[in-house]
Amino acid sequence: MEFGSSYGTCFEAAKPHLLISTSSKNTNITLRSRTQRFSFRVSSVSYKEFAESALEETRKRTVLEPSPLQERYSSMTGLDGKTQLQMLAFKSPKIRLLRSMTIENETMQVFDFTGFMKPEYDTPIFCANFFTSANMNIVVLDLNPLLQLTDQTDYQDKYYKNIMSIYHKYDEIFPWGGKLTGESIKFFSPLVMWTRFSSSQDKHQALFSAFLEYYQAWLEMTIQVKEGMEPSQVRANREAQHKYLTWRAQKDPGHGLLRKLLGEAKAKALLREFLFNGVDELGTKTFIDYFPEYQTDGGTVSDKRSIIGKSFETRPWDSNGRFIG
């Protein structure tokens, strides 16, 4: 996803300009610069535990099988020899891909956990993208709509109307995180938690709770949704998911970090084959086909972060989840 002040900016800001020493659980971090010395108290967060808990919840409701992707993508080490990337990939009778990636080194942790349904279902896409450094956390947690909600009130009523209380349970703890581009807002639901906060045990406990509640709501959707859609709707679902994947594979702000960690070729392969698997299989349209406004005079894709639409400094939905702009 693409944010007004993107993940990419924060990833780049996480370069080790400071010296960091940690305890075994990373609960005490001392940072020393050339001119001053100070300490942060951060929570002993482990995003691997988030993934494990989500998989446990999933196994209570359906049969999970390893995805073929697991054989190729399980772990990688960054070019620095220190950063570790761990990947998990599963599928179920209804879930096309349930995958997780964690990135860890001395200065940051990244968590990317997503669930994609098979095209026979129009269920939203589960999306959790978390970034943690010694003094900053950036969080996006959502059930990304397969269809744009501004045009599909029936879809919104079907999937979001009865679960808005989950968002309101956490909206004071995790307020709106700042400017969000007009292009990005199309891929978010009124349930989205987009926030920034300083590390604390209470905040991370609340984030873990919110993550599980959002995920449990998504799992219930996957159970209740019925097969039997018309072939035309299945084709529409496939194209909608392909459009989403095409956007993410091209514009995901984590690309810069992955490129630095793995090099351009491996980063691109990880994005297209694992993180946004399906972009090369579910359809043949290109990024320009879906988003012609990004085409440059030379026919390439513009690398600009915002092309059209306003940016949203505040939350653009009312308390009932209706878009107010």
Residue that wins the pLDDT comparison between 36 and 222: 222
Say what the pLDDT of residue 305 is: 65
The encoded tokens of residue 172 equal: 């004071």
The answer to the question of residue 154 being in a domain is yes
Distance CA 228, CA 47 (A): 37
Say what the pLDDT of residue 35 is: 34
The answer to the question of residue 263 being in a domain is no
Share of the chain above pLDDT 90, in %: 69
Distance CA 75, CA 82 (A): 13
Distances (CA, A) of 148 to 184, 301, 304, 323: 11, 23, 22, 11
The answer to the question of residue 94 being in a domain is yes
pLDDT in tens, 139-163: 999 999 998 776 667 899 999 999 9
Say what the pLDDT of residue 63 is: 96
List strand residue ranges (DSSP E) for 171-244, in order. Answer: 193-197
Say what the pLDDT of residue 325 is: 80
Say what the pLDDT of residue 237 is: 95
Which residue in 126, 145, 176, 135 sits closest to 3, CA to CA?
A: 176
Mean residue pLDDT of the chain comes to: 85
pLDDT in tens, 167-209: 999 999 999 999 888 888 889 999 999 999 998 889 999 999 9
Q: How confident is the model at residue 31 (pLDDT cuts 50, 70, 90)?
A: very low
The pTM assigned to this predicted structure is 0.86
List own/partner pairs for 295-304 with CB under 8 A and 24 or more apart.
301/250
The encoded tokens of residue 42 equal: 């951060």
Distances (CA, A) of 64 to 57, 61, 237, 298: 11, 9, 22, 46
**Mean pLDDT calculated for residue range 276-281:** 97
CATH code of the domain covering residue 144: 3.40.1500.20
How big is the chain, counted in residues? Answer: 325
The answer to the question of residue 17 being in a domain is no
Q: What sign for the dihedral angle of Cα 252, 254, 257, 260?
A: negative
Out of 16-25, 33-42, 79-88, 242-251, least confident range: 16-25
List strand residue ranges (DSSP E) for the chain, in order. Answer: 19-22, 28-32, 37-41, 65-66, 75-77, 84-91, 95-104, 108-117, 125-133, 137-144, 193-197
- Residue with tokens 């482990």, as numbered in its chain: 46
Beta-bridged to residue 301, according to DSSP, are 295
- Residue 65 has a CB neighbour count (10 Å cut-off) of 12
pLDDT in tens, 89-117: 999 999 999 999 999 998 899 999 999 99
Residue that wins the pLDDT comparison between 44 and 317: 317
Q: How confident is the model at residue 306 (pLDDT cuts 50, 70, 90)?
A: low
Distances (CA, A) of 35 to 28, 261, 319: 20, 29, 47
The encoded tokens of residue 267 equal: 């980063």
pLDDT in tens, 111-125: 999 999 999 999 999
Show the domain range for 182. Answer: 47-227
pLDDT in tens, 191-200: 999 999 998 8
Say what the pLDDT of residue 43 is: 40
Number of compact structural domains in the chain: 1
Say what the pLDDT of residue 308 is: 63
The answer to the question of residue 185 being in a domain is yes
The answer to the question of residue 163 being in a domain is yes
The answer to the question of residue 218 being in a domain is yes
Which residue in 230, 152, 144 sits closest to 187, CA to CA?
A: 144
Identify the three-state secondary structure at position 202.
helix
The encoded tokens of residue 297 equal: 């005079």
The answer to the question of residue 141 being in a domain is yes
User: Is the pLDDT reported for residue 3 higher than 60?
Assistant: no
CB 121 within 8 A of CB 92: no
